[in-house]
Amino acid sequence: MTAVTLGPEGTYSHRAATAIADGDEIDFRQSVTAIVDAVARGEHDRGVIPIENSIEGSVTESLDALAEYDVAVVREIVTPIRHALLAQGPEFDTIASHSQALAQCRSYLDREYPDATLEAVASTAQGVEFAREDPSVAGIGHPDNASNGIEVLAEDIQDQDSNATRFFALAPAEERSKGGGKSTLVVYPNANYPGLLLELLEPFADRDINLTRVESRPSGQRLGDYVFHIDIEAGLYEARTKEAIEDLEKLAEKGWVRRLGSYDTEHVVG
């Protein structure tokens, strides 16, 4: 098996991929969309992408890629995120990291480095690479990225100690599993009328199925038109889930319903 995740080496996504990869070869891409594309094309057996953070919320590029490409979600990995400030030394004026990491450390950065320029780059490890090449740049990432001239200037700089991120392990669409305690669906109703969202959620409430997440993302078709991402606490194999999705499909007859798959949550210590 081969896996693909966000690079370069040392990203949080890489750490999550390593935790589930069983020694498999891991390849890297510069964006979440490129990872999902590689799995959809069958270039890799597994892809690991960040989905949601406890401080900053959804990784919108991931949600949009899951609505666009036909892939399966086969595992969910939750891991604590503890950020360090990494640089060649204290003389830097720019802090480069993934937009989620910059946002997760907003209070610390405002307090300690109010004059620094914040630069969003492809990943945390990419920011550390830039810091390795340039003493005027610092990165934010996992402290294990400190090596080859980079030191840890501060640890645990995230705004909340409980900072955690959910990652999905993706597989080609035909490997979709119906077994597991949770499932993810993407719904595009292609309609807009009073009570639509209420109607979309009723099939689950009526069958006592708990929702763990509802997110709306613009469909890109027109302003005010949305795709909904729904996580439920039930497996696709269950009769109540099948019935709820049949109701959902009737409501979304002008659009579509995609079952991304069922899985169990795995907690991995960072």
Ligand X SMILES: O=C(O)C(=O)Cc1ccccc1
The two structure tokens encoding residue 58? 């959804």
The CB-of-53 to ligand X minimum distance in angstroms stands at 6
Angle between helices 196-206 and 239-251 (to 10 degrees): 160
Does position 230 interact with ligand X (CB under 6 A)? The reply is no
The CB-of-268 to ligand X minimum distance in angstroms stands at 13
The two structure tokens encoding residue 28? 């890297």
Choosing from 94, 124, 145, 219, the residue that interacts with ligand X (CB under 6 A) is 124
User: In terms of CB distance, is 88 or 163 closer to ligand X?
Assistant: 163
The two structure tokens encoding residue 143? 């402290």
Give which of 220, 153, 180 is closest to 139, Cα–Cα: 153
Non-local CB neighbours of 149 within 8 Å, separated by 6+ positions: 88, 132
Does position 11 interact with ligand X (CB under 6 A)? The reply is yes
Provide the β-strand partners of residue 88.
none
Provide the β-strand partners of residue 4.
27, 47
Does position 166 interact with ligand X (CB under 6 A)? The reply is no
Indicate left, alpha or beta for 180 from its phi (over 0: left) and psi (-120 to 50: alpha): left
For ligand X (CB under 6 A), the number of binding residues is 14
User: CB under 6 A: which stretch of 4-12, 177-185, 191-199, 218-226 binds ligand X?
Assistant: 4-12
The CB-of-3 to ligand X minimum distance in angstroms stands at 14
Choosing from 165, 177, 241, 262, the residue that interacts with ligand X (CB under 6 A) is 165
SS3 of the chain: helix, strand, coil, percent, to 5:
30, 35, 35
Does position 219 interact with ligand X (CB under 6 A)? The reply is no
The C-alpha atoms of residue 196 and residue 203 are separated, in whole angstroms, by 12
Site string for ligand X, 47-86 (x = CB under 6 A): ---x--x---------------------------x-----
Q: Which residues bind ligand X (CB under 6 A)?
A: 6, 11-13, 50, 53, 81, 98, 100-101, 123-125, 165
